[in-house]
Chain A
Amino acid sequence: MSALELAGLGHERLEPITLTLAAGEKLVVCGPSGSGKTTLLRLIAGLETPRAGTLSLNGRAAQTLPPHLRGVAMLFQGLALWPHLCVRENLRLGGVPDPEATAAQWEVAPFLDRFPDDLSGGERQRVALARALGNPAPLLLLDEPLSQLDTFLREALLQRLAGDPRTQLYVTHDPREALRIAHRILFLEAGRAVQLGPPEELLEKPASLAVARFWGPTNLVPARRESGRIVFALGELEQPGPDGPVTLVIRPEALELGSVGLPVDRLETCRLTDGWEARLRVGELELVARCAATPPPEPRLRLLGRAWALG
């Protein structure tokens, strides 16, 4: 039995979506600002009225159920902590059965008797997480749950969220969070679902420029397809499709700077935590490449990984 099933569920800001989530599955929802990510979560929670379609939760038709009977817990983007209630009351009203135990689990026990206005941004975010995840609802709707946290805490909490066995819809703009959490990713653009699939598919075969750019700096190389064959400066590629101009998406990791390939005309490097990023010019092309070690002097460039044609 599916945990969540949307059949043509639509709204003024969201074109109809059809989607099924298995119990325990984690779906990351991505897309540019205003693409309808929050609206989708609100529709599922019952805070917006759908224009069309049906929604079922755990096999039960739910589109007419009021929010409190749907069995969902939600973390709002703005946190929505009740300012007139202390943390303990926030947890209690948020449906957490044992506020003390949950507070200890989420390291917010020292703030139990304090009010949200008296907490820092990170503390408030932890309280909001405790309120949403301490609720035993089987479906979690998380709208950018880690956006205000420092890297260390974010990593720790990400691990806990990834380990939570419940079904999750997780909205994020961060590609690393998406890769860590997602079983599948739904990418929305201007209220339309443009791609749904496992993270690897969106990473390697993006359906649009926005999907390609979601993952960070990406090389977009203009080329032309003729009889299913695309020839470009760095190599050639066979990808069926209509003849005509295409844009090749090449991940920075797919490029290698070494002693083989095309000569690099100009090179600027930048240190990253896990290697180097090189911004380079090859003929008319401005490209970006990632490498584990310092690029050699007078390097040459070649395509090692895959390229994907759009258009």
Chain B
Amino acid sequence: MVLSLVILVPVVLALAGVGALPEPRALALLGRSLALAGAVCLTATALGGLLGLATAATDLPGRSGYWLAGLLPLALPPAVAGVAWLDLTQQLARRGWSPSGWLLTGLAQVLAFAPLAALALWVGVRQLDPSLEEAARLTRTPGRAWLRVSLPLLAPYWGLGALLVLLASLNDTALPSLLQVHVYAVEVSASLGTFLDARQAAALSGPPGLLLALGAGLWLAFWSRGRRGQARWQPPGQRWRLGAARAPVAVTLSLLTALAAGLPLLWLLLGAADPASWRLALELGGADFLRTILESAVLALFTVALGFGLALAVPERPVQALFLGLSLLGLALPPALLVEVWHRFTGDGPLLALGVFGARYLVFPLGLAQARRAQVDPALADAARLQPPRARKRLWLGYYGRAALAAGALVFMLSACDLSTHLLADPPGWGSLTVRIFSLAHYGRLDAVAALCLAEVVMLAAPLPWLARER
């Protein structure tokens, strides 16, 4: 019922929007944006995949450090990274070198979204039974055994990572806006946010929404047909010895993490070294900071409760596949479209934000709950059912507690960083930190936002050590 409200209505509207196709100029823009998202997707998936593989089960020295540093961009809202990149480009322009905005946007998006691919692949590697590859190594070289066994078994996770990066890139408005690149997502957002033209927003949302929905559907079909055996969480191990590849992998990951997390952080630390920026931050964004924490926490609680409730209440596989497909669609559709639909039901109240963010991020708790459910031995579930209610509650918490917390932390970070949804769905007068940072940066107050950015990064990075912990 909730899902149908959250997801199905926007789909119908998106289909209706196709009737009024966008004008050729917008379609050309869509083509360019798709090309950018495709390139970002390929590069980020390759780099993020490398990070996920190298940190999940190799003998790379310092792999936990790479993992933590590699995940850090998740705690850097695209707006924050964008501000750092913007400042860097301005510094470069003063020295007479102006890189192309498209190139810079692509680079910034790759670095911002690669952790999504890394997370997906990390989960895949940890669920892969090492003895499968070992069995193949008895008759094939290590490389061929990996290609024949591990690669196909990891392909769905690689696909999931690619899909998440594609969605994030295509729907991102923060980085292109700050780096002054006009992409399709900005056009859609502007048609609703600036010109208040819902019909136009729906029409513009239709083509990319359908393309992404098609991609999500294809992946889901691939996923549900995939044979992955009995999924079990594998302990960390040195499954793959890198040997001679150790040095190039370490150099690539060092460069990746230094650029993705180090550069923006360095910019933030340098900017925030001035005490004046902290006074300004407190004055301008103190209340926004608290509001963002409150809003993201409520959103995380709501989404996790809904996702885990749906995953555990109806165990049938087709129903779960349907839930997962619909929630992926929620992530695929442009936020402007979800806002337009929810606005009809809720008006401009806090429920609008709850509905839109819920639709966008339900896929993470739902997917994690489904994955965890597949790992819990049915005999353990039966054993819990035999216990008195209090003991049963403790057992269920043991089975699902960590996954729920991980999902909550992920939704907390992603929703706090989601600039375009905050811009469109937050109630009037309700400022969030990401929007505040974006606005200040947009009006050229780069000197004033470093402390605010740093405060936001610290808040968002708080769950990262826990997320990166070996379990």
Contact check: which of B131, B139, B152, B153 meets A68 at CB < 8 Å? Answer: B139
Question: What is the chain A residue whose CB lies nearest that of B232?
Answer: A78
Once the chains are docked, how many angstroms separate the CA of A61 from the CA of B148?
A: 29
Q: What does the 1/0 interface line of B115-142 toward A look like (CB < 8 Å)? A: 0000000000000010110111111111
A84-B227, A117-B229 in contact; A76/B153 too (CB < 8 A)?
A: no
Complex interface: chain B residues within 8 A of A117 (CB):
227, 229
Q: What does the 1/0 interface line of A27-46 toward B look like (CB < 8 Å)? A: 00000000000000000011
Q: Is the CB of A93 within 8 A of B229?
A: no
A95-B139, A117-B227, A135-B139 in contact; A84/B131 too (CB < 8 A)?
A: no
A67 at the interface (CB under 8 A from B): yes
Q: Is the CB of A94 within 8 A of B149?
A: no
Complex interface: chain A residues within 8 A of B142 (CB):
66
Complex interface: chain A residues within 8 A of B149 (CB):
82, 84, 93
Complex interface: chain B residues within 8 A of A45 (CB):
138
In the assembled complex, how far is the CB of residue B279 from the closest CB belonging to chain A, in whole angstroms?
Answer: 57
Once the chains are docked, how many angstroms separate the CA of A221 from the CA of B138?
A: 47
Once the chains are docked, how many angstroms separate the CA of A86 from the CA of B294?
A: 51
Q: What does the 1/0 interface line of A116-159 toward B look like (CB < 8 Å)? A: 11000000000000000001000000000000000000000000
Q: What does the 1/0 interface line of A68-101 toward B look like (CB < 8 Å)? A: 1010111010101111100000000111000000
A115 at the interface (CB under 8 A from B): yes
In the assembled complex, how far is the CB of residue A240 from the closest CB belonging to chain B, in whole angstroms?
Answer: 47
Number of A-B contacts (CB under 8 A): 64
Q: Is the CB of B227 within 8 A of A68?
A: no
Q: What does the 1/0 interface line of B139-175 toward A look like (CB < 8 Å)? A: 1111001001100110000000000000000000000
Complex interface: chain A residues within 8 A of B145 (CB):
68
A66-B141, A76-B131 in contact; A83/B136 too (CB < 8 A)?
A: no
Q: Is the CB of B135 within 8 A of A95?
A: no
In the assembled complex, how far is the CB of residue A51 from the closest CB belonging to chain B, in whole angstroms?
Answer: 15
Q: Is the CB of A83 within 8 A of B153?
A: yes
Q: Is the CB of B229 within 8 A of A116?
A: yes
8 smallest CB-CB distances across A and B, nearest first, come from A83-B229, A95-B139, A80-B135, A80-B131, A83-B227, A67-B137, A84-B227, A76-B131
**Number of B residues contacting the other chain (C-beta, 8 Å)?**
21
Question: What is the chain B residue whose CB lies nearest that of A86?
Answer: B227
Once the chains are docked, how many angstroms separate the CA of A194 from the CA of B256?
A: 52
Once the chains are docked, how many angstroms separate the CA of A241 from the CA of B137?
A: 50
In the assembled complex, how far is the CB of residue A294 from the closest CB belonging to chain B, in whole angstroms?
Answer: 40
B373 at the interface (CB under 8 A from A): no
B182 at the interface (CB under 8 A from A): no
Question: What is the chain A residue whose CB lies nearest that of B141?
Answer: A68
In the assembled complex, how far is the CB of residue A6 from the closest CB belonging to chain B, in whole angstroms?
Answer: 19
Contact check: which of B132, B138, B141, B226 meets A82 at CB < 8 Å? Answer: B132
Complex interface: chain A residues within 8 A of B140 (CB):
68, 93
Q: Is the CB of B134 within 8 A of A93?
A: no
Q: Is the CB of A80 within 8 A of B141?
A: no
A47 at the interface (CB under 8 A from B): yes
Secondary structure call for the A interface = loop
In the assembled complex, how far is the CB of residue A254 from the closest CB belonging to chain B, in whole angstroms?
Answer: 40
Chain B: residues with CB nearer than 8 A to chain A? 129, 131-132, 134-142, 145, 148-149, 152-153, 226-229
Once the chains are docked, how many angstroms separate the CA of A78 from the CA of B137?
A: 16
Once the chains are docked, how many angstroms separate the CA of A73 from the CA of B136?
A: 10
Contact check: which of A67, A73, A80, A135 meets B132 at CB < 8 Å? Answer: A80
Question: What is the chain B residue whose CB lies nearest that of A75?
Answer: B135
Question: What is the chain A residue whose CB lies nearest that of B138?
Answer: A67
Q: Is the CB of B141 within 8 A of A78?
A: no
Complex interface: chain B residues within 8 A of A135 (CB):
138-139
Complex interface: chain A residues within 8 A of B136 (CB):
82, 93
Q: Which residue among B136, B142, B145 has the maximum number of chain A CB atoms within 10 Å of its CB?
A: B136
Question: What is the chain B residue whose CB lies nearest that of A69?
Answer: B141
Question: What is the chain A residue whose CB lies nearest that of B155?
Answer: A84
Once the chains are docked, how many angstroms separate the CA of A94 from the CA of B134?
A: 11
Complex interface: chain B residues within 8 A of A116 (CB):
227, 229
In the assembled complex, how far is the CB of residue A117 from the closest CB belonging to chain B, in whole angstroms?
Answer: 6
Complex interface: chain B residues within 8 A of A82 (CB):
132, 135-136, 149
Q: Is the CB of B137 within 8 A of A47?
A: yes
Question: What is the chain A residue whose CB lies nearest that of B231?
Answer: A83
A47-B134, A67-B138, A74-B138 in contact; A80/B129 too (CB < 8 A)?
A: yes
Sample (28) of A-B pairs whose CB atoms are under 8 Å apart? A46-B137, A66-B142, A67-B137, A67-B138, A68-B137, A68-B140, A68-B145, A70-B138, A72-B138, A76-B131, A76-B134, A76-B135, A78-B129, A80-B129, A80-B135, A82-B132, A82-B135, A82-B149, A83-B229, A84-B153, A93-B148, A94-B138, A94-B139, A115-B227, A116-B227, A116-B229, A117-B229, A135-B138
Once the chains are docked, how many angstroms separate the CA of A82 from the CA of B229?
A: 8
In the assembled complex, how far is the CB of residue A72 from the closest CB belonging to chain B, in whole angstroms?
Answer: 6
Complex interface: chain A residues within 8 A of B229 (CB):
81, 83, 116-117
Question: What is the chain B residue whose CB lies nearest that of A95?
Answer: B139
Q: Which residue among A81, A83, A116 has the maximum number of chain B CB atoms within 10 Å of its CB?
A: A83
Complex interface: chain B residues within 8 A of A76 (CB):
131, 134-135
Q: Is the CB of A83 within 8 A of B148?
A: no
Complex interface: chain A residues within 8 A of B134 (CB):
47, 67, 76, 80
Complex interface: chain A residues within 8 A of B141 (CB):
66, 68
Once the chains are docked, how many angstroms separate the CA of A72 from the CA of B226?
A: 30
Once the chains are docked, how many angstroms separate the CA of A46 from the CA of B241?
A: 13
Complex interface: chain A residues within 8 A of B131 (CB):
76, 78, 80
In the assembled complex, how far is the CB of residue B124 from the closest CB belonging to chain A, in whole angstroms?
Answer: 13
Question: What is the chain A residue whose CB lies nearest that of B229?
Answer: A83
In the assembled complex, how far is the CB of residue B236 from the closest CB belonging to chain A, in whole angstroms?
Answer: 16
Complex interface: chain B residues within 8 A of A67 (CB):
134, 137-138
Complex interface: chain A residues within 8 A of B227 (CB):
83-84, 115-117
Once the chains are docked, how many angstroms separate the CA of A82 from the CA of B227?
A: 9
Other A-B contacts than A68-B141, A70-B138, A83-B153, 6 sampled, CB-CB below 8 A, are A68-B139, A74-B138, A76-B134, A80-B134, A81-B229, A95-B138
Q: Is the CB of A93 within 8 A of B139?
A: yes
Once the chains are docked, how many angstroms separate the CA of A46 from the CA of B134?
A: 10
In the assembled complex, how far is the CB of residue A167 from the closest CB belonging to chain B, in whole angstroms?
Answer: 16
Once the chains are docked, how many angstroms separate the CA of A90 from the CA of B139?
A: 12
